[in-house]
Amino acid sequence: MIGTLVKRTMILLVSVFILSGCSDIKELQNANYATAIGIDFKDGKYESYIQMVNLDQVATTEGGGAGEPQMLVSKAVANTFEEAFFEVYRTSQERIIWAHVTSIVLSESALDQGFQHIFDALTRYYEFRLTPWVFGTTESMEDILSQTGFFAKTSLDTVMHNPMRSYEQSSTIRPIKLQRLAREMFEPSQTTYIPSLAIDQTQWEKNNEGESKLEVNGAFFIQNDHFKGFFTTDQLEGLRWLISDTQRASLVVPDENNTEYVLVIKDPVPRTTPGIKGGNPSFDIVVSMKGYFTNRNENHHLVLPQIYKQSIKEVEDEITALYQLGIENNVDFLNLEHQFFRKHPKEWLTLREDGQLFIDEQSLNEITIHLNIKHTGAILNKSLDIKNIK
Does residue 141 surpass a pLDDT of 90? yes
Neighbours of 142 (CB within 10 A): 15
Residue 131: per-residue pLDDT = 93
Going by C-alpha positions, the residue among 156, 195, 155, 200 that lies closest to residue 172 is 195
Categorise residue 246: left if φ over 0, alpha if ψ from -120 to 50, beta otherwise.
beta
Please classify residue 46 by burial: count the beta carbons closer than 10 Å to its beta carbon, then call 0-12 exposed, 13-18 middle and 19+ buried.
buried
Residue 17: per-residue pLDDT = 47
pLDDT-derived band at 390 (thresholds 50, 70, 90) equals: very low
> Could you tell me which residue, 23 or 58, shows the higher pLDDT?
58
Percent of the chain with pLDDT over 70: 79
Please classify residue 311 by burial: count the beta carbons closer than 10 Å to its beta carbon, then call 0-12 exposed, 13-18 middle and 19+ buried.
buried
Of 41-50, 75-84, 85-94, 210-219, the range with the lowest mean pLDDT is 85-94
Axis crossing angle, helix 81-89 with helix 115-123, rounded to the nearest 10:
50
pLDDT-derived band at 126 (thresholds 50, 70, 90) equals: confident
Domain segments of the chain as ranges = 28-232, 237-390
**Across residues 247-269, what is the average pLDDT?**
81
**Across residues 209-218, what is the average pLDDT?**
91
Of 16-20, 76-80, 177-181, the range with the lowest mean pLDDT is 16-20
**Across residues 282-304, what is the average pLDDT?**
77
Q: Which of 44-48, 145-149, 230-234 has the highest mean pLDDT?
A: 230-234
Of 66-70, 198-202, 316-320, 359-363, the range with the lowest mean pLDDT is 66-70
Residue 6: per-residue pLDDT = 47
Does residue 238 surpass a pLDDT of 90? yes
Does residue 362 surpass a pLDDT of 70? yes
> Could you tell me which residue, 150 or 14, shows the higher pLDDT?
150
Residues whose CB falls within 8 Å of the CB of residue 22, separated by 6 or more in sequence, listed in order: none
- Residue 375 CA to residue 380 CA, distance in Å, equals 6
CATH topology of domain 237-390: GMP Synthetase; Chain A, domain 3 (3.30.300)
Residue 303: per-residue pLDDT = 66
Does residue 92 surpass a pLDDT of 90? no
Q: Supply angle C-alpha 27, 30, 32, rounded to 5.
A: 110
pLDDT, averaged across the chain: 83
Does residue 228 surpass a pLDDT of 90? yes
End-to-end CA separation in angstroms for the chain: 99
Q: Are 48 and 37 in contact (CB under 8 A)?
A: yes
pLDDT-derived band at 388 (thresholds 50, 70, 90) equals: very low
